[in-house]
Chains A and B, each alone.
Chain A
Amino acid sequence: MKVIPGFALRPLGNEYLLIAESVELVNFNAMITLNESAAYLWRNVAEKESFDAQTLAELLLEEYEVSPEQALEDAKKTIASWQEAKIIAD
C-alpha cells in the first residue's frame, strides 16, 4: 500500500494533524490526528512507493524499545486505522 497524496503533517499542540492541503488551500474538514509514533511512521512512509505492516514494524523497532511481536501488532493496528481514515490505498 501507499499514502494518498495531498495530505500534510502539521504539529499542533501535543499532537499532529494530517490535513488535506494543496499549495493554495488547507481543508480542516478533511483531517485526522496522529500521535507521535503514528506521525513518525507517516513521515517515513510518505515518500515510499509502497509499504506494509512489516515495513511499519521495522520502523517502530528502529525507534522504540518494543518487542518484534508488539511492533507488528501496533503496525497492523496503524494500517487498519489509516485504511479506515482513507489516507492510504492498496
Chain B
Amino acid sequence: MQLPNEIFIPEVARLVSEGKQVVFTPTGQSMRPYIEGGVDSVTLVKPEALAVGDIVLAEIQPQHYVLHRIYGLQGEQVTLMGDGNLQGCEHCHSKDVLAKVSCIRSPKGRRKPLTKAWLWRHMLHSRRLWLKVYRHVWI
C-alpha cells in the first residue's frame, strides 16, 4: 500500500522524533546499489550526530522529501546525493534532516551492510559503468 508522501513522511518524522524506530520500504532507485527501491526496507531513527556518509531522510523543499546520502557537511548546511544518481546534489539545513537510516534489510530480512560508502562517493566518474554492471548482474 502506497501512501502519499505529504501524509506519510510527516507521520514518520513525528514517530522518529518521539524516539521510535520506523521501518518502511522506500521507493525509487536513486540509492542503488545500496538500497533497492520497493524491495529493501530501512529502519529510521532520530538523526543525532550527522556525519558524511550517513543515509538520511530529509525535506529538501516544502513537502519534497528524499532518502539520500550525506555527501557534505558545512556547519548546518547539508549536501545530499543519491548513490544511484550520476549528477545533481540537494542542499538543506540540518534541521530539515528528519531521520537517519540505522539498518537496511533485504526482503528475506537479512541485514545489508550499512557503510559510509567512501569509495562509492569518490568514484562519480565511473559510477555509470558500475551501475550498469549492477543492473545486469544483480537485478
Contact = CB atoms under 8 A, between A and B. Distances in A.
Nearest to A20: B23
Report the contact-size class of chain B (Cβ under 8 Å from the partner). 10 to 19
Chain B contact residues: helix, strand, loop or mixed = mixed
A7 B22 CA distance: 14
Contacts of A27: 22-24
A26 B21 CA distance: 6
Interface residues of A, number: 13
A51 interface: no
A72 B83 CA distance: 53
A19 to B, nearest CB: 9
B23 A12 contact: no
A26 B11 CA distance: 11
Interface of B: 1, 3-4, 7-8, 11-12, 15, 20-25, 41, 43
Interface of A: 10, 12-13, 17, 24-29, 31-33
Given A10-B11, A25-B22, A26-B22, 4 more contacts: A12-B8, A13-B7, A24-B20, A29-B25
